[in-house]
Structures are given as C-alpha cells and as structure tokens.
Structure 1
C-alpha cells in the first residue's frame, strides 16, 4: 500500500469541521445563543424552535444589542467583545462566552440572520450568513436588543443532518438547555416556544 499524500485542508472544509465541534445539534445552537444573550445583560430571552430546532431557531433578547458597524465583526471567526488578549484570560473571564466562535460557527452550517439595535439607537441593522458566506449589513426595523434566526441547520453538511434524532428528542435537548439556563439565572425571564406553543 502506498502512503497517501498529506495535504492541507481548504478553508471551507476547515470551517465546516470546526463548526461541527461547536454545533452538534439544535440544542448546541440554543446554548450558544442563550449564553450570548446572558452575556449581553438581557433581562428577557425568548427562544422559539420549529420541529425541535431542526427547521428553525430564533432567540430574541433585550440586551445591549450590537451596533450596525459591529455586526460584520460579530459573525467573524475569533471576534469577541469579551477579551482583548491572553492577559485577559490570565485574569479570568467572567462571561459565559469569550472565544468568538458562536455566531461564526452557527453561520457556517446554517442560514443565519442577526438583527440588532442597541437601546437608544434610532435604527437597527441586520446581517445574514449562509453557509459561511457573509452578506452586507442592511438597515432593519427591530426592537432594542438582538434577534438571531437560524434556518436550515446543517443544510450544507448532510452527514451531520442525517444524525439528528426525532423532533421530540431534539426538542427534549433544547428544553433541557433552556430550562437549565432559566433555573441558573432566576433574574432573567427565559421563555421557550415549540412550533408556536409555549
């Protein structure tokens, strides 16, 4: 048997593999998005999923929001508002997320829309990411805070989509995540809706 050549993976393949490590199922997406909401100081986090999260996920919060000129950075790889350098890690991180991977990895394996308006801002803005392809920032009417919508999870990674469980099983995982964060954060109103029912 001849030794195979060792080759570097192209950036798109690396992106999808890395995304699969963070985003294993709809509940992984919900976890990352709830953590973003909590880190944004939200007092309300509304989670809505369709078909256990396999058809759609929406997380809306009333946190600090993301300014329009920061939306593109928010969906970029390793971009974070939580730390600036290694010294920040050494001092300790007081937030749930800090790696700057959540929105980037979700956008790599779905059709993602982030709509946000900081409180006090006159208008909101939105950005879309489809399978890692980042669209332009556009004006958007929206309440203060941030809404993240995820559609067609794993549309570009059919092998991962094939391993998703039944709708009821996936929803059980989502429910466990949402309930855990609700119990751990009694000062935050966390709600969960499945197929239009709370």
Structure 2
C-alpha cells in the first residue's frame, strides 16, 4: 500500500483496476500509475497481488486516487477504468466497473493456471464479445500485432497504459506516464517503452 504526499492540490479522484496473468507486467503498470499520480500531487492508495506473479496465476491491482479514498480496494461497481492484460481475467474483474466506465483490454488470450487446472475450454474471442456486450465502453488493443511490430513482447503494459492515458479516462496523460517510466524503469529500456507509448497514442487516435 502506498500513499502519495499532496504537492499541488490536485484532488481529482479516480478508481482503477488492473488485471492479468503473472508475467505480463501488471505490477509495473500499477507502479507507473502510482508514480505518475504522486508526481501530480495526488494521494494514492493501492493494493495488489504479487504472490502469483511468477506462476502464471491471476494478478490484479487496485488503485484509488484522490483524498476521498480511505482504503486501497475498490468496491464493486466503482472503477472508472479497468486495464485488462488478459480477456478472461478482465471478465472476472468486470463487476468492479462502474456504469459508464471504460475497459481497455488486450486481445491476446493467455490461459490462467486456474482455467488450465479446471480443464476448461477457454475462448479469448468469446470473452471479448462478452465484455463488449456488458461494459459501457470497450477498447480492444491488438497487443500481439503491436509487440511484433515493435520487436518486443515485454511492452503490453505500456501499450495499455498509453491507450488508457490517451483516452482521457485514466486521469493521467501520456507524458505523465513517460515521466514515470524515467523514474521507475532502467534507462536501457526507456527507448522501447517510449516507442510503445507513441504507438499506443496513435492507436487511441
């Protein structure tokens, strides 16, 4: 859990949920959102699962921005935006989305360990269709194509963050995320991450 010090009087509230499968970069994305928000003087409260991050299990983060947040967990029906790194995990977290909220989701399915153990017939395309039917606004990002064009499979988090920021629903700008990358990501990865943000910004347009 983290709490940012108020610096500039920015009191815009925002409830955010990130979800995916271990190894996709959800935790780093959460840290980038928190760092960017604190840099703008916003209070930040966050909670995340990290134990399954290297086991292919379900991973999620809750982030609440603004002085009105008293606890880090979002209640059902209160999230302004869900960043879904995996379609099935996004469906699982959909009850947190508020009416009229936005979903930014990767189109690439990755079968979670829970689904594999259950022997389920997992269908990523069906999960996307479900999201489109149930959520108010859904942006599907072809992350597989983007990663192929950018030459790395390690940028799904920056792609989703970039699209979300460019949409205006994240409460942060693409430049805010870029500055957070400078703070939280080793310098040798900056150029790749910046290219991913630029790519995402074009997608959002």
TM-score, reference length from structure 1: 0.30
Higher-Rg member (1/2)? 1
Higher RCO (CA 8 Å, separation ≥ 6 residues): 1
**Structure holding more helix per residue:** 2
